[in-house]
Amino acid sequence: MNTMSLIEGASISAYVKMAQAVEAVRRFKMDERGVTAVEYAIVLAGVAGVVAIIFGRNGTVSGMLTGIFNTIQTNVTANLPTTNTPAP
């Protein structure tokens, strides 16, 4: 084998490997399967954050429910009949 054939064989091999690498990168770039999962994870994190804020200890719903139950308790207590039963 002469030097020219070795160089030619090596350059063809390098070209084929480079073409395969470029094709692999092209396929990876076009693959959107992982992107969908990441998008769902971001949406889920956002929804979880909103739910935590709304239903949290000092959240909007918590304050509203506390106010409603305090009003109910005040009205029920004010409208209960007082009984003055003598002590036995």
Condensed to tens digits (0 to 9), the pLDDT of residues 37-65 reads: 788 899 999 999 888 887 777 777 888 88
| DSSP per-residue string spanning 13-72 | HHHHHHHHHHHHHHHHHH--HHHHHHHHHHHHHHHHHHHHHHHSTTSHHHHHHHHHHHHH
Please check the confidence at residue 85 and state whether its pLDDT lies above 80. Answer: no
pTM comes to 0.41
User: What tokens does 55 get?
Assistant: 């239903």
Phi, psi of 59 (to 5 degrees): -80, 175
Place of tokens 């092209």: 26
Could you tell me the residue ranges of all domains in the chain? 32-60
